[in-house]
Amino acid sequence: MDSKKSPKWSLDITTIDAGEMCLQLSGTWKMRANLPDIDIIKKSLGKHTNISKLRIDTSALKTWDTGLLTFLRDLHRLCEAQHIDYNPEELPKGVQSLLLLAEEAPEKYRHLFSSHRISLFEKVGTETLKITAIIMGIIIFVGDISLSLYRLFLGKARFLISDLILFFQEAGVYALGIVTLINFLVGLILAYIGAVQLSQFGAQIYIANLVSIGVIREMAPIMTAIIMAGRTGAAYAAQLGTMQVNEEIDALRTLAIRPMDFLVLPRTLALVLMLPLLCLYGDLVGIMGGGIIGVFVLKLSILRYSVQTLSSISIADVFLGITKSAVFGILIAVASCHRGMKCGRSAEAVGKATTSAVVTSLVLIISADALFAVFTNALGI
C-alpha cells in the first residue's frame, strides 16, 4: 500500500583477472522496476571468454521480490549451460530457500518431441479421422437416443417426471410469446408480398390461399423450428455443457443412471412433442396475421376471407406441416444434446457447444426442409 518511490536497483559487473566475474546487486530489486535482463550478463560473459567462476555480492541489496528471484534463476541456468562455477550460498537466506522450494518440485518430464513438425499428409489424415470420428459420434448418439426411446416404451428409462414437465413447460408455454410474434409477422409479410402481385390481376382474394398454404406448409414449421433452435436448443447445449464441466454427468453415470435417459430423453421428448403443437398454433397466428392485411388493407370482407381460407386448407397440408415440425424437433434435440454431451471442460467449450448447437440445428432444419420439398413434389402432396 506504500506508494512512495523506492530507490532503484543497480547491477555492477566487474571482472577479476583470474577468470572470475563479480556481480554486485544493490538497491531495490522489484519486479515492476524494469529489472535488467539476463542478456546483459550473457553479453559480458561473451566479452571475456575465460570466465570460470561467478561471485554474487548482495551485501548492499535492500528489498526484493519475485523479480530478483527470476533473475537469479535465469542466472543459475546460464551458469549451468556455460559451465561456470557459481555459489548460491552467498545469496541471502530467504532467496536461497525460495529458490530451493522452486527447484525441489518434482519436475514433470517435458514433452520430448514438442518441436515435431507435422507434414501435410499427416494433417489431412488427422483431420479426416477427426471428421469421421464426429460423424461416427453423431450416428452413435442417434443410436443411443433410439435405445433410450426403446427403454422408454419398455418403461425402463429412468428420469424425473418433474423434469419432463418442466421441459414441456419451457419448450411449450414459455415459447408462446415469441412464436406468436414471429408467426404473426410472417403471415403479415406473406400477405403484403402477395397483395402487390395479385392485385395487379384483381385477384386479391387469393391472398387467403397464398397465406394459408404458405404458412401451413412452409413458414410456420420453419420459423417455429428456427425459434426453438435458438431458444431451447441453445439452452439444452449450454445446460448439458455446464453439467459436463462440473462433472455432474459423471456423477450420474456412477449412480448407474444413464445420462441418455435422464438428461437427453426428456429434452428430446419435450421438443418433439411441443414443436408440432407450437407449429399448429403458429399456423393459426400466421393466418390471422395475413387476414389482418386482407381485411384492413385490401378491404376484403371477413366472411369472404375466412371462407376462402378454409376452402384452401387441406388436411394433407396441415399434416405435412406437423410432420415437418416433429422431424425438426428431433433434429434440434439431437444436434443440441449431442453438442452439449460432447462438450469440453471449459467455459469456452460451453460457448462453442452452444454456438455449434444452434448452427447445426439451422443447417439441419433447412436441409431437411429442402428434402421435404423434393419428396412432396415427387409424391404430389
Partner 1 sequence: MCAVSDDVQISVRKMDMRYRHETLLKDLNFDVHTQDVFVIMGESGCGKSTLLRHMIGLTRPRHGDIFYQGKSFWHCGPEQREEMMQHFGVMYQNGALWTSMTLVENVALPLKQFTTLTRRKIKHAVEFKLALVGLDGYGDYYPAELSGGMRKRAAIARAMALDPKILFFDEPSAGLDPINSKRLDELLLELRDNFGATIVVVTHELDSIFSIANNSIFIEPKVKSIIGRGNPKKLLETTDNPKIIEFLTRGERYE
Interface residues with partner 1 (CB under 8 A)? 1, 31-32, 34-35, 37, 64-67, 69-70, 73-74, 94-95, 97-98, 101-110, 245, 344-349
Least distance to partner 1 from the beta carbon of 40, Å?
13
Residue type for position 142 = V
Q: How far is CA 265 from CA 159, 167, 183, 290, 292, in A?
A: 8, 11, 28, 37, 40
The label of the residue with cell 541456468 reads 77
Q: Residue 44, Cβ neighbours under 10 Å: how many? A: 15
Q: Which is nearer to partner 1, 65 or 163 (CB)?
A: 65
- The least CB distance from residue 64 to partner 1, in Å, is 8
* Cβ distance to partner 1 smaller for residue 76 or 151: 76
- Residue 2 or 17: the one with the smaller Cβ distance to partner 1 is 2
Q: How far is the CB of 109 from partner 1 (least distance, A)?
A: 7
C-alpha gyration radius of the chain = 36
Report long-range pairs for 5-13 (Cβ below 8 Å, ≥24 apart): 6/30, 6/33, 6/63, 7/62, 8/33, 9/33, 9/35, 9/36, 11/36, 11/40, 13/40, 13/41, 13/44
Q: How far apart are CA 347 and CA 334, in angstroms?
A: 22
**Closer of 229 and 350 to partner 1 (Cβ):** 350
Q: How far is the CB of 75 from partner 1 (least distance, A)?
A: 11
Q: Which is nearest to 216 in space by CA: 330, 324, 327?
A: 324
Q: Please, which residue, 31 or 318, has the CB nearer to partner 1?
A: 31
> From the CB of 250, what's the least distance to partner 1, in Å?
12
Taking the least distance from each CB to partner 1, the nearer of 109 and 121 is 109
Q: Indicate the residue among 110 and 299 with the shorter CB distance to partner 1.
A: 110
Residue 98: partners with Cβ closer than 8 Å, 6 or more residues away: 69
Tell the smallest beta-carbon distance from residue 306 to partner 1 (Å): 55
User: Which strand (E) or helix (H) includes residue 25?
Assistant: strand 20-29
| Backbone angles phi and psi of 13, in degrees to 5 | -105, 120
Nearer to partner 1, 33 or 149 (CB): 33
* Distance of alpha carbon 192 from alpha carbon 213, whole angstroms: 15
- Closest separation in Å from C-beta 104 to partner 1: 8
φ/ψ (deg, to 5) at 12 = -110, 125
| Cα 114 from Cα 266, distance rounded (Å) | 45
Taking the complex as a whole, the smallest distance from the CB of residue 4 to partner 1 amounts, in Å, to: 14
